[in-house]
Structure 1
Amino acid sequence: MTGFKIVEKLQKINEDIHKEQLKYHHKRVLVSKEFTFDAAHHLHCYEGKCKNLHGHTYKAIFGISGYTDDTGLMIDFGEIKQIWKNEIEIHLDHRYLNDTLPLMNTTAENIVVWMYEMMSEYLKKDLKWTEAGVRLEFVRLFETPTSYAEARREWMEVE
Structure 2
Amino acid sequence: MTVAKRFRWEAAHRLADHPSLCRNLHGHSYTCWIELDGTPGPSEMLIDFQEVKRVVSPLIDAWDHCTYVNRDDTALREALATLGVKHYVLDGRSTTEALADYVARYLCTHGFAMLQDHGVTAVQVRVQETETCYAITRATVADYADTPAPDLEQALVETEAVAG
What is the TM-score with the length of structure 2 in the denominator? Answer: 0.69
Preserved CA contact (<8 Å) 2:31 2:128? yes
Query: In structure 2, which of residues 90, 95, 98 is the aligned counterpart of residue 107 of structure 1?
Result: 95
Query: In structure 2, which of residues 110, 132, 136 is the aligned counterpart of residue 122 of structure 1?
Result: 110
Q: Structure 2: state its 5+ residue gaps.
A: 70-86, 145-164
Q: Structure 1: state its 5+ residue gaps.
A: 1-28
Preserved CA contact (<8 Å) 1:108 1:148? yes
Q: In the aligned structure 1, how far is the partner of 2:20 from the partner of 2:48?
A: 42
Q: CA deviation at 1:33?
A: 0.9
**1:41 aligned partner:** 13
Q: In the aligned structure 2, how far is the partner of 1:82 from the partner of 1:136?
A: 18
Q: In the aligned structure 2, how far is the partner of 1:48 from the partner of 1:150?
A: 23
**1:32 aligned partner:** 4
Q: How has the CA–CA distance of structure 1 residues 114 and 102 changed in structure 2, closer, same or farther, with 3 Å as cutoff?
A: same
**1:59 aligned partner:** 31
Preserved CA contact (<8 Å) 2:47 2:118? no
Q: Count residues with an aligned counterpart.
A: 127
Query: In structure 2, which of residues 21, 44, 49 is the aligned counterpart of residue 77 of structure 1?
Result: 49
Preserved CA contact (<8 Å) 2:37 2:122? yes
Q: How has the CA–CA distance of structure 1 residues 51 and 85 changed in structure 2, closer, same or farther, with 3 Å as cutoff?
A: same
Q: In the aligned structure 1, how far is the partner of 2:117 from the partner of 2:63?
A: 30
Q: In the aligned structure 2, how far is the partner of 1:92 from the partner of 1:136?
A: 24
Tell me the secondary structure at the aligned position of residue 144 of structure 1: coil
What is the TM-score with the length of structure 1 in the denominator? Answer: 0.71
Query: In structure 2, which of residues 137, 149, 152 is the aligned counterpart of residue 151 of structure 1?
Result: 137
**1:92 aligned partner:** 63
Q: In the aligned structure 1, how far is the partner of 2:122 from the partner of 2:64?
A: 22
Q: In the aligned structure 2, how far is the partner of 1:132 from the partner of 1:85?
A: 19
> 4+ residue stretches of structure 1 with deviation over 3 A?
none
Q: In the aligned structure 1, how far is the partner of 2:18 from the partner of 2:43?
A: 51
Tell me the secondary structure at the aligned position of residue 106 of structure 1: coil
Structure with greater Cα Rg = 1
Query: In structure 2, which of residues 125, 132, 156 is the aligned counterpart of residue 139 of structure 1?
Result: 125
**RMSD over equivalenced CA pairs, Å:** 2.2
